[in-house]
Amino acid sequence: MKRLSVSNLLGIKYLQPEDLHLIFETATHFKEVINRPIKKVPSLRDITIANLFFEDSTRTKLSFELAEKRLSADVINFSVSQSSVSKGETLVDTVKNIIAMKVDMVVLRHPNSGAAHFLSKYVDSCIINAGDGTHEHPSQALLDAYSLYEKFGDLSGKRIAIVGDILHSRVALSNIYALKMMGAEVKLCAPKSLLPKLIESLGVTISFDLMEVLNWCDAVNMLRVQNERMELSYFPSTREYSQKFGLNIERMNQLRKKIVILHPGPINRGVEITSEVADSEQAIILDQVENGVAIRMAIIYLLGSQINIKVT
Ligand code: NCD
């Protein structure tokens, strides 16, 4: 059986191109499985997975949980508001206690950048990063890249734009790593205040002109303005942001070609994207959600089969 080059999924940065191919190949198999009348396989019947969510989540949490259940793993869920973390327990202590209950794998979402990496140094269990602060969100980037691969085939030379709040987005960084690894060209578009300094060192280009970017790209990933991560005001008003950086039908109609539209969700309709565009045929937002389950099944299956347990 082919193996991943890593034993945790902490970020796309730590993966090799072959890992992405293996994850995609495995996800294609699982996508077929979850479209069957009987969607469940016994592959991870002997493993126990804890979903530890220290931050709100709808799609990612449900998608991981479904993926785990479709693989027949035992699943326990933890969210910070109902835990002893509010009594002052540290992350490492919380996780060590959970692992002492014989948990094989931990899926961690945490508001602090680097939390998954930090945890992997202290606990001897397989860790999957489900989003750490403004750092990485590897499973999202894998499902985005997989959805593009389904649409275009080989991504080498494809032009992909990422528009919106790049500064506070873990989706942006993981997408940049994944898309570059697959040979795509990446252009970022955002107000200057929402772009990290030195981001061009990752091999991406920048534009402040949304129409120029839309005319350039084959696909655009529209990101939400992450208001919950902002202590300051990064642009004059939401209305002004939408006028300069929002995707609407008038802009789409001015293009010389049809482009593919992605969004990781949750959507702020009327801010970064209008309803007309989000619900249009060019948007693959719900395909991304479907692919998310298959991709997460692939990640869990491949990592699960590398730990010292029986996988059928
Ligand atoms: C993203 C996240 O949480 O980083 N959402 C997600 O996982 N589907 C993006 C966002 O919150 O805007």
| pLDDT value of residue 233 | 77
Distance from residue 264's CA to the centre of ligand 1 (Å): 6
Task: Please list every protein residue whose CB sits less than 6 Å from any atom of ligand 1.
Answer: 59-60, 131, 137, 140, 170-171, 224, 226, 264-265
Lowest pLDDT segment from 118-127, 240-249, 279-288: 118-127
- Name the residue type at position 199: I
**Nearest CA, atom 7, ligand 1:** 60
Name the residue of 140, 273, 289, 291 to mutate for ligand 1: max ligand atoms within 8 A of Cβ: 140
**In the predicted structure, residue 311 carries a pLDDT above the cut 50:** no
Q: Which segment of 130-144, 170-184, 229-243 scores lowest on mean pLDDT?
A: 229-243
Between strands 74-79 and 105-110, the pairing is unpaired
Q: Which residues, at least 6 apart from 82, have a Cβ–Cβ distance to it below 8 Å?
A: none
Say which CATH architecture domain 12-137+290-304 belongs to.
Answer: 3-Layer(aba) Sandwich (3.40)
Token pair of 166, please? 């790049």
Hey, is 29 helix, strand or coil?
helix
For residue 285, give the nearest of 272, 298, 299 by alpha carbon: 272
pLDDT tens digits for 85-114?
Answer: 767 788 899 888 888 888 999 999 999 999
Considering the domain 138-286, what is its CATH architecture? 3-Layer(aba) Sandwich (3.40)
pLDDT at residue 310 in the model: 45
Stretch 219-246: mean pLDDT: 89
Amino acid type, 182: M
Confidence of residue 54 (pLDDT cuts 50, 70, 90): very high
**246 CA to centre of ligand 1 in angstroms:** 18
| Sequence letter at residue 198 | L
Determine the Cα–Cα distance for residues 206 and 96; give it in Å rounded to an integer: 43
Split at pLDDT 50, 70, 90, the class of 308 is low
Delimiting residues of CATH 3.40.50.1370 domain(s) in the chain? 12-137+290-304, 138-286
> pLDDT above 70 covers what percent of the chain?
96
Q: What is the pTM of this model?
A: 0.95
Amino acid at 11: G
Q: Name the average pLDDT for the chain.
A: 94
